[in-house]
Amino acid sequence: MRTLASSAAFPPAPPFARFALEVPLALAVLVTLFSPTARADEKEACVAASDQGQTLRDEGKLRAARTQMALCARDVCPSIVRRDCEKWLSDIDAMQPTVVLGARDPKGNDVTGTRVLLDGVVLAGRLDGKPIAIDPGEHTFRYEAPGAAPVEQRAVMRVGEKNRILTAVVMPLPLSASTAVAPPPSTPAEAEVPSSHAPLPVVSIALASVAVVAGASFAYFGLSGTSDVSHLRATCAPDCAQSDVDSARTKLIVSDVALGVGLVSLAGAAWFYFHRAPAAPPPQAAIQADVAPRPGGGVATLTARF
C-alpha cells in the first residue's frame, strides 16, 4: 500500500524533463574532466612562448620576440609567467626601432602607392605615414612605385631609435623604356639596289597569257571530245550520224592545236624573259671645273654632264 501511495503522490518524470536534467549534468562532468588537460596545454604553450621570446630577443629579432611575448602575457597564462612576459614586452617596445617611410616624385609629390620591401620581404603594401617597427641592424629598403624604377636604400637602425624618417625619390621610367617599342632595323629599299636586268619584257607577258588561254582550251575541248567519243561508242557505234562523229573529231583536233599553241607560247615567253637586255646603268652626273690663266686675270670654266 505504501508503494502505491508513493507512486500516486510522486509520478515519474516525463522523458523530456529527464533529458533536460541530464544534459547539464553531462556537460559539467565533461568540463571537470577536460579542464585540467586544457589548462595544462595552455600552461605549456605560455612557457614555450616565454622561452622562445627570450631567445629571439637576445638574437636581436625583436619583431618575432614581441609576438611570442604577447602570447605569454595573456590572462590564461600562469601569473608568474604573465608578469615576466608583460615586463619583457614593455622592454621590447622601448628597444625596438621604428621608421616612417615615404616616397616622392621629382616634383616633391608623395607617391603613396609605393610598396616597400625590407631585406626582400614586403614591409608595407602602401605608405600611410605611420611608424613601422623593425629589428635593429643594417637593412635594405626597396621602394617599388607603379611606372617608376625601383629604388634601394640602405640604413642602420639603432636600438631604441624611434620614428626615423626615410624618404626615397622614385624616378618615372622613360617613355622608350616603359611603353615605346623600338622600330625594327631599317633595310635598304629595293629601289636603291640596282638591277642587273631590264624590267620584265612585254612580249614575255603576252606569250605567257596566250599559253594560259591555250592550256585552258586544251583541257576543255579535250575533255569534251573524249566524252563525246565515249558516248558515241556506247550508244550508236558503228552506225552513228556523221555530224556527231565530225563534232567529236573537231573538238579533239582543237584540243591538240591548243596544246601546241600553249607549248610554243610558253617557250617563247621563257626565251624572251631570259634573253632580255641588261638594264642600262643610271646616268651619273659629272662636274668638271677648269681654271686657265689669261693676261690680266684668268678664266674659270665649269662643265656639268648628266
DSSP class of residue 126? S
Peptide bond into 194 cis (omega under 30): no
Angle at 117 between CA 61 and CA 142, to 5 degrees: 120
Candidate ranges 44-58, 216-230, 261-275; pick with highest mean pLDDT? 44-58
Q: Which residue has the higher pLDDT, 16 or 84?
A: 84
Mean pLDDT for the stretch of residues 27-45:
62
24 or 90, higher pLDDT = 90
Asked if residue 243 has pLDDT above 80, the reply is yes
Name the residue with higher pLDDT: 158 or 256. Answer: 158
Instruction: Give, in degrees to the nearest 5, the angle at Cα 16 between 14 and 19.
Output: 115
- pTM equals 0.45
Hey, which of 186-195, 197-206, 230-239, 273-282 has the most confident mean pLDDT?
Answer: 230-239
How far CA 168 is from CA of 26, 121, 127, 131, 151, in Å, comes to 65, 18, 12, 16, 7
- Identify which of 99-103, 214-218, 233-237, 291-295 has the greatest average pLDDT: 99-103
d(CA 102, CA 163): 12
Q: What residues form DSSP beta bridges with 301?
A: 290
Tens of pLDDT along 48-105? 999 999 999 999 999 999 999 999 999 999 999 999 999 999 999 999 999 999 999 9
pLDDT for 144 equals 95
Task: Tell me the average pLDDT of the chain.
Answer: 78
CA angle 66, 68, 74 (to 5 degrees): 100
The answer to whether the CB of 143 falls within 8 A of the CB of 78 is no
Percent of the chain with pLDDT over 90: 41
Closest by alpha carbon to 228, among 211, 210, 241?
241
Q: Regarding predicted confidence, which is higher, 101 or 173? A: 101
- How sure is the predictor about 264, in pLDDT bands with cuts at 50, 70 and 90? confident
Give the residue carrying C-alpha cell 677648269. Answer: 290
Pick the range with the lowest mean pLDDT from 6-15, 183-192, 267-276. 6-15
Q: Give me the phi and psi of 120, to 5 degrees please.
A: 90, 0
Q: Could you state, in order of their start, the residue ranges of all structural domains in the chain? A: 16-94, 97-174, 202-274
How does pLDDT run across 221-239, given as a tens digit for each residue?
888 878 888 887 888 877 8
pLDDT of residue 289: 54
Phi (first) and psi of residue 158, to 5 degrees: -100, 150
Task: List CB contacts of 95: < 8 A, sequence separation 6 or more.
Answer: 62, 136, 159, 160
Supply angle C-alpha 226, 227, 230, rounded to 5.
Answer: 85
Of the candidates 135, 52, 67, 57, the one whose C-alpha atom is nearest the C-alpha of residue 96 is 135
Look up the CATH architecture of domain 97-174: Sandwich (2.60)
Q: Residue 304: its pLDDT value, please?
A: 55
193-215: average pLDDT: 71
Strands 164-169 and 98-104: parallel
Q: What pLDDT is stored for residue 221 in this prediction?
A: 81
Instruction: Identify which has the larger pLDDT, 73 or 188.
Output: 73
pLDDT of residue 42: 83
The residue behind cell 522523458 is: 15
Question: Does 241 have pLDDT greater than 80?
Answer: yes
pLDDT(162) > 90:
yes
Confidence of residue 286 (pLDDT cuts 50, 70, 90): low
Burial of 66 by CB count in 10 Å (0-12 exposed, 13-18 middle, 19+ buried)?
buried
CA distances to 11, 26, 27, 31, 202 from 21, rounded to whole Å, are 17, 9, 11, 16, 116
Cβ(112)–Cβ(38) below 8 Å: no
Q: What percent of the chain has pLDDT over 70?
A: 69
For residue 88, give every residue at least 6 positions away whose Cβ sits within 8 Å of its Cβ, in sequence order, or none: 53, 54, 57, 69
